[in-house]
Amino acid sequence: MKPEPVFPKYEGYLSDESHLPGRADAIVFPENAAELSEAMRQAARDGTRVTVQGARTGLAGGAVPQGGLIVSLTRMNEAPELAWSGACAHLHAQAGVTLEQIEAEAASCGLFFPPDPTEGTATIGGAYATGASGMGGLRFGRMSRFVEGLSWVTPPGEIWRVGRGEYRFDDTGCMLPDGRLLKGSLAGMGAGCDLIDFLCGSEGRLGVAADFRLRLLPEHAQRWGVVFFFPDDGAALAFARRLYGRLESQPEPLFACEYFNHCALGLIAAGGESGDPRAALPAFPKSARAALYAELRGDDAAALESMLMALLELLAGAGGSGEDTWAQNGPGVKKLRKMRHRLAEAIHSRPGAREGGMRLNACFSAAPERFAECLDAYRKGLAQSGLDGALYGHLFENRLHVSLHARGENERESCVELLRGFAGVAERFGGLRAPEYGEGKLPRPWDDTASRRRREERMRALAAFFDPSGLMGG
């Protein structure tokens, strides 16, 4: 395994879906943990900067190299292997295995991977590196909760075998596999936290996961997907408030709750790069100005039907109409949940989106229980600005995305000001956490919040601890 020149064969590896331009001298394709370790050791000996890449589906530029060596994990993609330990199912997967592969292998045995990240062509290594989660995050939380073990390759090239529960933080910190103590005050982790959870979301700055042992769960016997359309955002928000209140007494059947504003619906209806995204879907109701997608999962068909009837009652009380509601069960659910993926495609293909500075994407996270205040502020800010903006995302987790399309430099400045205001809103209501797709390298001039500065300061300190030569992350 020798590094190869980037040009001309591998020029496409110089960027990702952020379209941020990159540069690199060489690229290497390890096929297992040992080869990955050797690549890291050689880079450390040579003093070469390293950028680790998965499928390059990221929107934040995290996989874009800024010199040195690209370590691509795309050939670490052996077919995942399923193993049982009593009633517990685990899937062993290399870092370059895609989420689609994991889903297919799990489904073949009546199982599923609960975090359910949106982009199926992304790799499990990339999802872990960015701390990604998808619709399933509402019920199941961060994806790291379903990582039972991993092989971690450190910046100097050591291989750590880490099993859940083997390395936990106590009141002083966490004793690492190399014998060093990582203090809890530096890591920002409390007693009882697991090293696997700490490393998740470190974006290739502290090392890289080579392979995983993933915990799978039995697939639910019943699945319903429901799209509720509303004549305005106010009605959608009223319905969401009522539904959230109900969850306090009956949380179990709700697997996901996704929000789409009028602009987002328009982009889905207009289509993306992959063709007409409405394939196998009827046209949206003409009166639709907002929508919520709710997914219900469980094993008791009667309980799910009861929940669905209750949702229709809440809908009527919020000014919505059952006639403008779509519902599918079983295989039909996949058609409805594709709305989220197709929206991402449509945003990516908007006119001018590939030209510098014309498309501004942001993700804002805050305390879940403050979702209504945040959404209300975002939608009012958009309306008052007059800007063309899609607002969508995991509503009850209060992780919402904004995609603005600026027509010229003056409008771009207005977009930045609007997003700066949104960042302030999120921070005021319990945020900001890192964006859902990672910090990355793409500039975010609107986010100069105190919470972001604290995250960056902590990451610099952690990078100095794990990577004192400063070679990781491009």
Mean pLDDT by 10 residues, the chain (474 residues): 93 92 97 98 97 92 96 97 92 97 95 87 95 88 94 99 98 98 95 97 97 97 95 94 86 89 94 50 90 95 90 90 91 88 82 60 93 97 94 95 89 94 94 73 86 91 97 86
**φ/ψ of residue 65, rounded to 5:** -75, 150
Give the pLDDT confidence score for residue 274 in this predicted structure. 47
CB-based contact 285:235 (threshold 8 Å):
no
Task: Specify the 3-state DSSP secondary structure of 460.
Answer: helix
Q: Which residues 6+ apart lie within 8 Å of 451 measured at CB? A: 427, 431, 432, 433
Task: Specify the 3-state DSSP secondary structure of 227.
Answer: strand
pTM: 0.92
| Single-letter amino acid, residue 281 | L
Q: 370: which DSSP letter?
A: G
Residue-wise pLDDT for 170-203, tens only, equals: 999 999 999 999 999 999 999 999 999 999 999 9
Domains of the chain: 4-72 (3.30.43.10), 81-218 (3.30.465.10), 222-447 (3.40.462.10)
Give the pLDDT confidence score for residue 352 in this predicted structure. 53
Helices assigned H by DSSP within 108-212: 124-130, 137-140, 184-187, 195-199
Helices assigned H by DSSP within 97-144: 99-107, 124-130, 137-140
**φ/ψ of residue 367, rounded to 5:** -60, 130
Strands 50-53 and 69-72, how do they pair? parallel
Strands 81-85 and 173-175, how do they pair? unpaired
Contacts of range 233-237, beta carbons closer than 8 Å, 24 or more positions apart: 233/261, 233/262, 233/289, 233/290, 233/375, 233/379, 234/319, 235/290, 235/318, 235/319, 235/320, 236/290, 236/291, 236/292, 236/318, 237/372, 237/375, 237/376, 237/379
CB atoms within 10 A of CB 443: 10
CA of residue 209 relative to chain centroid, distance: 17
End-to-end CA gap in the chain: 21
Give the pLDDT confidence score for residue 349 in this predicted structure. 74
Give the pLDDT confidence score for residue 273 in this predicted structure. 45
